[in-house]
């Protein structure tokens, strides 16, 4: 745990890959950290990686995709992060992916749809994100999708209408979004739909009557 080491610009690489039983790495608040060590990709037993507030981090290692035991990846406040490596699609044990306030993130990897264990995807205030990748319909375990403050997001992939496990969809502040999913009515488990501040939304699609789990 290196919580709050705000002057740390690089993390040690020597010997890190030998910590094969390492399960948690917390770099919370390391706001000067610009890159992660190469050895990180060898920590295949790691289940939790917390990079909350690493606001100088511009990219993640491709080796991140080797962390196949990872269940939680927290990138809250990594405001300089522009893209995620395609290797993220290999993290098939991941249940929570937090990209809150990754305000420079312009795209998500196509492999995101491979994360079939993912239950929560948080994209709150990813204000530079204009589209979501195809393949998200494969996220069959997803229960919560938070797109609050994705003010540049113009469309939603129709595949989202196949997420039968989704219980909460938050589109608050998606001010560039012009229409909702045509297959919105297929979200049979949906209990909450938040549309406050969707100022460009001109029409609501049919199918609301099919949302029988709505509370």
In a domain, 190, yes or no: yes
pLDDT recorded at residue 205: 63
Q: What is the pTM of this model?
A: 0.90
Q: Are residues 109 and 39 in the same domain?
A: yes
Q: Which pLDDT does position 16 carry in this prediction?
A: 56
Task: Quote the pLDDT of residue 3.
Answer: 47
Domain that holds residue 177: 144-215
Write down the pLDDT at residue 182: 81
- Could you say which residues of the chain have pLDDT below 70? 1-21, 204-215
95, 129, 163 — which closes off a domain? Answer: 129
In sequence order, which residues have a C-beta less than 8 Å from that of residue 149 and are 6 or more positions away? 124, 125, 126, 127, 172, 173, 174
Closest CA to 172 of 202, 193, 143: 193
Q: Classify burial at 136, counting beta carbons within 10 Å of its beta carbon; exposed 0-12, middle 13-18, buried 19 or more.
A: buried
- The confidence score (pLDDT) of residue 137 equals 92
CATH of the domain at 165: 3.80.10.10
Contact criterion met (CB below 8 Å) for 126 and 148: no
**Where a domain ends, among 99, 129, 159?**
129
Cβ neighbors of 213 (< 8 A, separation 6 or more) are 167, 188, 189, 190, 191
Per-residue model confidence (pLDDT) at position 9: 46
Could you tell me if 83 and 173 lie in one domain?
A: no
In a shared domain, residues 118 and 155: no
Taking the CA of residue 185 as centre, how many other CA atoms within 13 Å lie in the half-sphere pointing to its CB? 8
Number of separate domains in the chain: 2
Which pLDDT belongs to residue 202? 81
Helix or strand holding residue 194 (H, E) = strand 192-194
Residue 158 lies in a domain: yes
At 62, list the tokens: 């491709």
210 and 115 both lie in a single domain = no
Q: 3 and 107 in one domain?
A: yes
* pLDDT recorded at residue 49: 96
């Amino acid at each position: 745990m290196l919580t709050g080491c705000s002057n740390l610009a690089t993390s040690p690489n020597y010997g890190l890959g030998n910590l094969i039983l390492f399960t948690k790495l917390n770099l919370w608040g390391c706001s000067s950290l610009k890159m992660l060590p190469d050895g990180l990709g060898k920590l295949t037993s790691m289940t939790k990686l917390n990079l909350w507030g690493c606001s100088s981090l511009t990219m993640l290692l491709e080796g991140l995709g080797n962390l196949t035991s990872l269940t939680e990846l927290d990138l809250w406040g990594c405001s300089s992060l522009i893209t995620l490596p395609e290797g993220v699609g290999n993290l098939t044990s991941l249940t929570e992916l937090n990209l809150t306030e990754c305000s420079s993130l312009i795209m998500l990897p196509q492999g995101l749809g491979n994360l079939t264990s993912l239950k929560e995807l948080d994209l709150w205030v990813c204000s530079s994100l204009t589209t979501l990748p195809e393949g998200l319909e494969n996220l069959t375990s997803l229960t919560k999708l938070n797109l609050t403050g994705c003010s540049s997001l113009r469309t939603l992939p129709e595949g989202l209408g196949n997420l039968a496990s989704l219980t909460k969809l938050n589109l608050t502040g998606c001010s560039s979004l012009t229409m909702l999913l045509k297959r919105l009515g297929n979200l049979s488990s949906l209990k909450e739909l938040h549309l406050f501040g969707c100022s460009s939304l001109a029409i609501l699609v049919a199918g609301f009557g099919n949302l029988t789990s709505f509370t």
